[in-house]
Amino acid sequence: MELSVVVGDIAGQAVDAIVVNLFKGVDSPGGATGAVDGAIGGAISRLIAAGEIKGGRGEVTVIHTLGDAYPGFAPDRVIVAGLGSPEEFDLDGVRSVSAVVARRLRSLNVDSAATIVHGAGIGGLDAGLCAEALAEGAILGSYRFDKYRTSSKPSFDETKPKTLALVEQDATKISALEAGVARGQVFASASVAARDMVSEPANVLHPTRLAEIANEIATEGGVDIEILERADCEALGMGAYVGVALGSHQPPKFIHMTYEGDPGNPDNNLWIVGKGITFDSGGISLKAGANMGAMKGDMSGGAAAIAAMQGIAALKPTLNVHVVCAATENMPGGGAQRPGDVVIAMGGKSIEVDNTDAEGRLTLADAIGFARSKGAKRVVDIATLTGAIIVALGSGHSGAFSNDDELVGQVIAAGAKRGEPVWRMPLDPITKKQNKSDIADLKNTGGRAAGSIAAAHFIGEFAGDTPWVHLDIAATNMGRSVHDWEPDGATGVPTRTLIQLALDLGS
């Protein structure tokens, strides 16, 4: 979809469809919607009076004007998008409406469309931010992963609408709208990149391919990248990470990407650490067969981290950002680690492997250890770590655990700006005891009770006193149905939050 910003009157656009909007409770449309209503003989007003158009959020009404039905009116269709209550309308509302409308335009087989900027008029929101949210919503809402479909492809053309113009009468707002659209495209494209990685099957996206994608993103963005091989990781003492990789025929790849936005101040840094288990069978502690295929998405944290670097390199915050992803499969096999084994993490901590299906925290232990050895001043790790977080929070929020009030507050604020909600969870001393081992410094599981908290405590052992936030995204990495700008499948969460965090810290 090609997005553009044009000066003009929405009713005068020579496109297949135009998009206007209406708040709930409005009986007589004004502004651009009122102008279009007048141009088509009051059709919108009549449909409001008849109760067909109510303005509810997510409501989309299509009025067929067939071009020549009204003199001087070129579009074949008018789309009236409901915005809901004006008191509750915000930038998330802009994203949501834009996503819903984009899917409807596609289903109508529309080639070209034009829209007013939702929220920038009577909604009273900042025009540039509205354009940014509109671009995000339109791109993310149109997303589908149909790469491997042949005979079962959908009946509609997935590339439509091919063009979407944001129309504004006030020429003084154009530069702000253009900047907003450009930023929105960066955020959305990064999220799409993460979605694509997570959606790929594990026989295609293995650790080597994930490293190749990271290298492609680094090359395009002009950032440095280093790929450590198994021998390199062994030499650094990454026994926890290497132990997870022992059962797979696929070689592990330790990915380290570096963006230097403040090279003269190396301590001004943020390390983003993503869990990169490209397939999780559970290892010797084998998972049940039902729904195991979804474990191709156990690298969602790594995908979000790598994709975030794409956006960070484009938007260039004044901050040094490092992305680390310790990529591997977790497979059973003659060489796989066993329950009861003891491994030594980078830095010397010994870990009793109580359950090989608690592998993500082992890889994160060494990834965070690597970050700290390189002078990390802030660490945010992202992982599909525990099913327990789904029980605790459902699918509405990612769970956050932290040893630093300021940093976790910044992460939560960044998520709120991008419509990727984050909820802080506790780290209590009682639950921490569940990770105590009789034969090692700690064990990698703490039992069923407070499973997400115990897992976070384990990772926190390796963060030490470095300001650190752990995001458990097991509930939010995959959508269960099409909703607003989220698809049925990989969501890309929290890619846009990570980009926003880097911008906030580097502003």
List the chain residues with pLDDT less than 70: 67-68, 152-156
Q: Given this model, what pLDDT does residue 482 score?
A: 86
Which is the catalytic residue, given 106, 361, 372, 443? 361
Q: What is the pLDDT of residue 70?
A: 81
**Which residue bears the tokens 């980078």?**
346
What is the DSSP secondary structure assignment for residue 402, as one 8-state letter? E
Note the pLDDT tens digit of each residue in 308-344: 999 999 999 999 999 999 999 999 999 999 999 999 9
Q: Which amino acid is at 329?
A: E
Please indicate whether residue 361 is annotated as part of the active site. yes
Q: What is the pLDDT of residue 2?
A: 96
Catalytic residue among 287, 349, 374, 417: 287
Identify the pLDDT of residue 158: 72
Domain residue limits, the chain: 2-168, 189-505
Element (DSSP H or E) covering residue 225:
strand 224-228
- CATH code given to domain 189-505: 3.40.630.10
pTM for the whole thing? Answer: 0.97
- CA of residue 269 relative to chain centroid, distance: 22
Which pLDDT does position 149 carry in this prediction? 85
Report pLDDT digits (tens) over 353-365: 999 999 999 999 9
Provide the phi-psi class of 443: left if phi over 0, else alpha when psi is between -120 and 50, else beta. Answer: beta
Level-2 CATH architecture, domain 2-168: 3-Layer(aba) Sandwich (3.40)
Give Cβ neighbours of residue 467 (< 8 Å, ≥ 6 apart).
377, 378, 379, 402, 403, 404, 406, 407
Q: Please indicate whether residue 287 is annotated as part of the active site.
A: yes
Query: Could you report the per-residue pLDDT of 400-413, keeping only the tens digit for each?
Result: 999 999 999 999 99
DSSP 314-335: HH--SSEEEEEEEEEEE--STT
